[in-house]
Amino acid sequence: NAGVTQTPKFRVLKTGQSMTLLCAQDMNHEYMYWYRQDPGMGLRLIHYSVGEGTTAKGEVPDGYNVSRLKKQNFLLGLESAAPSQTSVYFCASRGSNPGQENEQFFGPGTRLTVL
Amino acid sequence: EDQVTQSPEALRLQEGESSSLNCSYTVSGLRGLFWYRQDPGKGPEFLFTLYSAGEEKEKERLKATLTKKESFLHITAPKPEDSATYLCAVQSAAGGYNKLIFGAGTRLAVHP
C-alpha cells in the first residue's frame, strides 16, 4: 500500500495563477483533510471531507476550494494564488471504524511558493 | 479558544541524555491528545493518543504522559535517529473528530 500520496511535490507559481493539488489514498478511508504548515505555527486545517461528494471548511479556508468526486481522491484548488499562500501543504486521511477515529495518516507534503 | 503550546521550540541533546518535551493545552473538553513525529521534508507520523489525565503510553524510548493541563513526551537515552520535530495536537469535544489543533512543535536534535 502506498498510503497517502500527494502531487506535485514542489511548485512555484506567480501571483494570480491557479493550480490544483492532488491527494490520493489507497486505505479506503472515509475522511480526508488538507492542512497547511507555516514556520513557527502548527498545522492548520484548510478543508476536510467526511465522505465522497462532501466537503467542509476548516480553520483557514479562504482562497481555497476543494472537491471529493471519488472516495480515494481529495483535490485542493487555488484559483488566484497569493504570496500569503506560500506554504507546505499536507493531506491526511483516517478511517471510520471504531478505534480509527483518532489516527490521521499524512502524505509527504507539497511545497508551494507563490512569487 | 482551544490552544496548544509546545516547549521548548528546539532542544539539543547528547546521545543517551534523557529529557522531556512539554505540551500545554487549553481546550473546552478534551477528547484526545496526540503526539506525532515529523522528519524533515516528510509528513507527520502518528505516535500516541492519550485520552484522560493519568494515562501513559510507551513506544521504545518514548513515553507520553497526560495531566489536566499538559502532556509530556519523555525521551529516555535518546539516539541520533530520534532527531525529528515532535508535534502535539488536541481534539476537543466541541470540535469533534475532524478538527485537530496542533502546536508549533519541538525540534529535537540528538548528537553522537
Determine the pLDDT at residue B2: 87
Question: Is A113 inside a domain boundary?
Answer: no
* Pairing of β B100-102 and β B19-26: unpaired
Residue A9 has pLDDT above 80, yes or no: yes
Q: How many CB atoms lie within 10 A of CB B49?
A: 19
A82 assigned to some structural domain: yes
Divide the 112 residues of chain B into consecutive groups of 10 and give the mean pLDDT of each group.
Answer: 94 98 94 95 94 95 97 98 97 83 97 96
In this structure, whether the domain defined by B3-107 belongs to CATH 1.10.1740.10 is answered with no
> Cα separation of B110 and B112, whole Å?
7
Cβ contact, residue pair A42, B102, below 8 Å: yes
Q: Which domain holds residue A95?
A: 4-103
Q: How many domains does chain A have?
A: 1
pLDDT digits (tens, 9 = 90+) for A18-60: 999 999 999 999 999 999 999 988 899 999 999 999 999 999 9
Q: Which residues of B touch A41 (CB under 8 A)?
A: 104
What would the 3-class secondary structure string for B45-98 be?
Answer: EEEEEECCCCCEEEECCEEEEECCCEEEEEECCCCHHHCEEEEEEEEECCCCCC
Task: Judge whether A115 lies within some domain.
Answer: no
Which tens digit of pLDDT belongs to each residue from A56-109?
999 999 999 999 999 999 999 999 999 999 999 999 999 877 766 678 999 999
Q: From the candidates B31, B34, B36, B46, which should be mutated to test the interface with A, based on the most A CB atoms within 10 A?
A: B46
Nearest to B73 by CA among B3, B4, B6, B2: B6
A57 contacts on B by Cβ (under 8 Å): none
Q: Is residue A110 part of a domain?
A: no
Q: How far is B79 from chain A (nearest CA, A)?
A: 24
Query: A45 and A62 in contact (C-beta within 8 Å)?
Result: no
Q: Is B99 within 8 Å of A40 when comparing Cβ atoms? A: no
Pick the residue from chain A with its C-alpha nearest to B103. Answer: A42
